[in-house]
Each structure stands twice: as C-alpha cells, then as structure tokens.
C-alpha cells in the first residue's frame, strides 16, 4: 500500500504529455504535432522548439486541425493534436467521426484541461461528456492516465499504437505515485492495491482519490482493492470480472458524467457477465461552475469522502 504519511511530489498531467511528446520528437521522425493556439497550456513548447518543421500552429481553428491531422496521417505521419478537452471533442465531433474514426486514421487526439479540475474557467470549458463521446466511436481508443508519469508513458505508447486514439489529461498539479518507467500497456488495467471486500475501479485524477479512500476504509475494517482503469476502451474485461468475483461488490470513480463514462462501461460488463452490487462516483447529470479544483470535486461528489461512502454502500449491499 502507498505510504500516505509522506506527501508525494505533485505535477500536472499535461506536463507528462509535453515530456512524452518531446521524447517522441527526438526518437520518431514520423511524429508531428498540431496545436490550436494553446502551445503553453498543452506543454508543447519543447517539441515546437526542437522540431519546428514538424509542428503546425493552426490557430483557433480546431475543426481544421483535425482535418489537417487526418491528411498527415494519410501521408504516413503520426499526428498528435493538442487543445483543451472541450475543444478536442465537442467542438469537432463531426470532423473526428468523419475524417478520423470512420476511416481509421492514425491520429492521436490529445486533450488537456478535462473535467471539473480545469477549475475557475467554469462550465463552458469543463467538459464532462468527452469520454462517452469518444468511446462510442468505432475504432477509437480512449486513455485516461492517472498522474504525470503515466501520462508520459501513455503518450509514448500511442506512437506505437496504430489507429485513432483519445488521450485525456488535466491542468492541476496532482500526486505522482506511479513509477517513472512503469510497464504501461494500452488496454491492460493496473492493480494498485489488492483487497478482499470491495473493488474500486478508478480512472484519471480519481485514482489518487481512491488510494486515499482505500487507506481510510482499511482503518474502518474494509479491505478495498484499487484498480487503475487507465484505458476506458478497449476495456480490460478480465481484470474487472476477476476482481468483482473476488470482492462481490464494485465502485467506479471518475471525473466525468455518470452517464457515458467508466461507470457505464463497467456496469455493462457486469450486467452481461456477473451481476454485482455497484456504486458510481461521478458527476450526476450536471454542468460545472467556476471554483477551485478542490472546491468543485467536493461540491459535485467526486472527492475522497465520496469514494469512501460509495464503498461502504456497496459493501452493505452484498
């Protein structure tokens, strides 16, 4: 179990993307990068500086960026697009569906500032529907890493993965708790803490919250298993079923709408193969608002205490 008496180093997951992209720029000449006027926010500066001829600043024209990326993929390049999650999905869904997913283009859609933890920019920028939008597209891979190290590794892995992919990460400084050189496998869930009483399947920023919740639950006599579902699609069905069989109840935790996110995917698996008591920690059909990440996570029910309470409810239903 993680030692929660020692405060971990913190760093934003978007910087993990920037570091991974910079490394790819040096190691893979086919990798190109496109940005919609948010180079600093997406931490794409290092790639731009080192490889200016392979970097395309398209301006505030996200739909055009997706079309250009599709064209570059057709020519054998590996495009990584960068802008906020809201603009990476909601604003350009038609272009992604028609020009990238439908024709199975090798485009990596990299999206920062996702979820409520975007913070003070408010509801217009805090997209909470993007995982659902992306996972419903045929051919699309959806990855939501949990910390700086894993975001870097996911970025590196995507260059070797053929096909369209959506990589979702965030703005705030967050605990770094996975190894810098971990074995990251797309589609393979990551066991963080074995347990016997309840399975907590978490993704993104909620993985750290779930680790904290598991520690508190242990003090209450509940042995929680924590599994990081960093790949929403393809989903690691075996890991979910193996854990649910062992513990007999399940909690999902995510920074996303309850509808369409990780919880929906896990519920579908359980309904088809292993009906199991289940609770979901997610935003309940609401838009966000302006506030600090901590304030918003508490208000909208996706904080550590919410994972604890959901776990207790799930155990009581066994």
pLDDT digits (tens, 9 = 90+) for 32-63: 999 999 999 999 999 999 999 999 999 999 99
pLDDT band at 6 (very low <50, low <70, confident <90, very high): confident
For the domain made up of 190-316, give the CATH fold. Rossmann fold (3.40.50)
pLDDT at residue 7, as a whole number: 77
Q: Using the CB atoms, write b or e for 270-297: b if 16+ within 10 Å.
A: beeeeebbbbbbbbeeeebeebebeebb
Region 213-227: mean pLDDT is: 97
pLDDT classification of 1: cutoffs 50, 70, 90:
low
pTM over cut 0.85 = yes
- pLDDT tens figures, 139-178: 999 999 999 999 999 999 999 999 999 999 999 999 999 9
Same fold, 10-175 and 190-316: yes
Domain boundaries, the chain: 10-175, 190-316
Percent of the chain with pLDDT over 90: 97
Residues with active-site annotation: 62
What's residue 149's pLDDT? Answer: 97
> Angle 13-27/148-160 helices, nearest 10 degrees?
40
Q: How many C-beta atoms surround the C-beta of residue 149 within 10 A?
A: 23
What are the structure tokens assigned to 195, written together?
């347990």
- Cα 248 to Cα 200, 206, 228, 252: the distances in Å are 11, 22, 18, 14
- Average of per-residue pLDDT values in the chain: 96
State residue 5's pLDDT score: 64
* Average pLDDT rounded to a whole number, residues 120-143: 96
- 4: pLDDT confidence band, cut at 50, 70 and 90? confident
10-175: CATH topology is: Rossmann fold (3.40.50)
pLDDT for res 49: 97
Residue 3 has pLDDT above 90, yes or no: no
Residue 110 has pLDDT above 80, yes or no: yes
CA distance 57 to 104: 24
Residue 166 token pair: 């959506």
């Amino acid at each position: 179990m993680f030692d929660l008496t020692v405060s971990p180093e913190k760093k934003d997951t978007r910087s993990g993307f920037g570091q991974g992209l910079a490394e790819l720029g040096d190691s893979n000449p086919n990798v190109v990068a496109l940005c919609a006027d948010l180079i600093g926010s997406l931490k794409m500066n290092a790639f731009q500086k080192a490889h200016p001829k392979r970097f395309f600043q398209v301006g505030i024209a996200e739909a055009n960026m997706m079309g250009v990326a599709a064209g570059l993929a057709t020519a054998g390049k590996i495009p990584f697009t960068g802008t906020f999650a809201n603009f990476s999905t909601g604003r350009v869904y038609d272009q992604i569906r028609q020009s990238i997913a439908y024709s199975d283009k090798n485009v990596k859609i990299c999206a920062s500032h996702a979820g409520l933890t975007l913070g003070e920019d408010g509801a217009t920028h805090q997209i909470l529907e993007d995982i659902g939008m992306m996972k419903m597209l045929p051919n699309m891979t959806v990855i939501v890493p949990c910390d700086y190290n894993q975001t870097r590794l996911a970025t590196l892995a995507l260059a070797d993965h053929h096909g369209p992919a959506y990589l979702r990460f965030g703005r705030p400084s967050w605990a770094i708790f996975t190894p810098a050189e971990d074995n990251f496998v797309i589609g393979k869930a990551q066991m963080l803490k074995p347990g016997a009483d309840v399975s907590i399947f978490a993704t993104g920023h909620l993985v750290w919250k779930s680790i904290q919740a598991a520690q508190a639950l242990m003090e209450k006599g509940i042995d929680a298993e924590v599994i990081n579902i960093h790949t929403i699609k393809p989903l690691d069905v075996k890991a979910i079923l193996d854990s649910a069989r062992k513990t007999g109840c399940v909690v999902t935790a995510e920074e996303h709408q309850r509808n369409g996110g990780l919880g929906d995917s896990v519920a579908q698996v359980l309904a088809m193969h292993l009906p199991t008591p289940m609770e979901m920690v997610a935003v309940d059909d609401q838009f966000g608002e302006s506030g600090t990440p901590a304030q918003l996570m508490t208000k909208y029910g996706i904080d550590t205490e919410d994972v604890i309470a959901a776990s207790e409810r799930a155990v009581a239903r066994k």
